[in-house]
Amino acid sequence: MSTPASATATELAQRIEAGDTLSDADWLLAVQEVSTGELLRLADGVRRRWHPEPEVTYVIDRNINYSNVCSAICTFCAFYRKPGHAEGYVLPNEQIFRSVEEMLELGGSGVLMQGGLHPDLPLDYYETLLSELKRRYPGIYLHCFSPPEIVNISEVSGRPIPEVLIRLRDAGLDSIPGGGAEILVDSFRKRRATKCTGVEWLNVMETAHDLGIRTTATMMFGMGERLEHRIEHMRMIKDVQSRTNGFYAFIMWTFQPDNTPLGRAYPDRVPADEFLRWFAVGRLYLDTIPNHQVSWLTQGLDVGRRALHGGANDLGSIMIEENVISAAGASHKATEEMLRGVIESEGFRAVRRNAAYERLDP
């Protein structure tokens, strides 16, 4: 038997549906009081305003981590190696080109390229890599270098952020991934990471938008932050969006504790229901961002299915694995069929897109 909704929950749901402006305190109450089903229904309404067609998109991407060397220390990260560590690497450009060729052969349209905060690679390195990729593979979409990397490139090269962004854009950068946001509220963030501050992250994005470079935005939660921090994080993104309209997608996921120092203190994953409630509130709160992606990789397919009826218009994503081509091809095809099957079994048409959210299927 379901519990009757409280008067507060009913009133909040009515105000959300009527399009009233809610305070951050109201949103905090809504995510705690309104039922999951109701939040998902309301979020679905916003998604239908942006995307009335019964379609769900997905992308075939290749994630290339050009280097794992990082001068920052983030307690939630299992990826980085300190400078000088025996397992640190910078991929030779030829290896990156081979990965791109495999991706193109498998029907992919672009690369998501990110790495650690390398203490020595100069701006020239990134410019040459981008321009060489565009020269060799015309039409390839380059979604590269999250704000912490941009701040690092600026510091290593001694060049200001706008100049770094202009030079990367002119070398072929199409858009910037919203990684490295986690929780942007600096009073909390500084306890978890030594990489760029939340204010710096937002500044990179706003500057990029002003220069005509569009970006995505993200939130990673479940690492000991307060619920207020999650709302404040979304407000910081919404404020930039209200000035620039440059965020074209929002993606949230949860802290993955395995093999991280922080995982010893916070070993439990965010439960599916909590994720879905925040996913729905993300769609409702950030209703000025057109695309909201649910990640089946971190939450599992069942959660992905529910989110398709609760605000998500994109199921992300198919990452071609860093393997030999035949193995990568086989697993990629299986994953694409599976993903299309999930989308179609939920009553939507599955549409392949590129990293700019432009449809590739007719």
Token digits for 273? 């229901």
Contact in structure between 293 and 300 (CB atoms under 8 Å) = no
DSSP summary character for residue 270 = P
Range in contact with ligand SF4 (rule: CB under 6 A) among 76-84, 122-130, 314-322, 328-336: 76-84
Site membership for ligand SF4, residue 74 (CB under 6 A) = yes
Range in contact with ligand SF4 (rule: CB under 6 A) among 70-78, 96-104, 215-223, 293-301: 70-78
Taking CB under 6 A as the criterion, the residue among 6, 79, 334, 349 binding ligand SF4 is 79
Q: Which is nearer to ligand SF4, 69 or 294 (CB)?
A: 69
Range in contact with ligand SF4 (rule: CB under 6 A) among 73-81, 86-94, 99-107, 203-211: 73-81
Query: Beta partners for 114?
Result: 65
Range in contact with ligand SF4 (rule: CB under 6 A) among 66-74, 208-216, 278-286, 292-300: 66-74
CA-CA distance, 45 to 97, in Å (whole number)?
A: 43
Give the nearest distance from C-beta 70 to ligand SF4 in angstroms: 3
Q: Which is nearer to ligand SF4, 149 or 287 (CB)?
A: 149
Site for ligand SF4 in 104-133 (CB under 6 A): 116-117
Q: Which is nearer to ligand SF4, 65 or 157 (CB)?
A: 65
Q: Which is nearer to ligand SF4, 116 or 257 (CB)?
A: 116
Q: Which is nearer to ligand SF4, 46 or 181 (CB)?
A: 181
CA-CA distance, 328 to 255, in Å (whole number)?
A: 26
Binders of ligand SF4: how many residues, by CB under 6 A? 12
Give the nearest distance from C-beta 42 to ligand SF4 in angstroms: 33
Site membership for ligand SF4, residue 195 (CB under 6 A) = yes
What torsion, rounded to 10 degrees, do the Cα atoms 280, 285, 290, 293 define? -30
Query: Of 198, 251, 261, nearest to 224 (Cα)?
Result: 261
Q: Which is nearer to ligand SF4, 152 or 207 (CB)?
A: 152
Parallel/antiparallel/unpaired status of strands 349-353 and 141-144:
unpaired
Give the nearest distance from C-beta 184 to ligand SF4 in angstroms: 14
Site membership for ligand SF4, residue 70 (CB under 6 A) = yes
CA-CA distance, 314 to 58, in Å (whole number)?
A: 6
Site membership for ligand SF4, residue 77 (CB under 6 A) = yes
Q: Which is nearer to ligand SF4, 70 or 294 (CB)?
A: 70
b (16+ CB within 10 A) / e for 273-291: eebbbbbbbbbbbbbebbb
CB contact set of 119 (below 8 Å; sequence gap of 6+): 69, 71, 83, 156
Give the nearest distance from C-beta 114 to ligand SF4 in angstroms: 8
Give the nearest distance from C-beta 53 to ligand SF4 in angstroms: 36
Binding mask 214-243 for ligand SF4 (x = CB under 6 A): ------------------------------
Q: What are phi and psi of 221, to 5 degrees?
A: -135, 170
Supply the angle between the helices 161-171 and 123-136 in degrees, to the nearest 10. Answer: 20
Q: Which is nearer to ligand SF4, 116 or 198 (CB)?
A: 116
Other Cβ atoms within 10 Å of 53 Cβ, number = 10
Run of H or E residues at 63: strand 55-65
Token digits for 84? 């000088």
CA-CA distance, 241 to 256, in Å (whole number)?
A: 28
Contact in structure between 295 and 253 (CB atoms under 8 Å) = yes
Range in contact with ligand SF4 (rule: CB under 6 A) among 67-75, 226-234, 243-251, 330-338: 67-75
Q: What are phi and psi of 116, to 5 degrees?
A: -75, 180
Interacting residues toward ligand SF4 by CB under 6 A: 70, 72-74, 77, 79-80, 116-117, 148, 193, 195
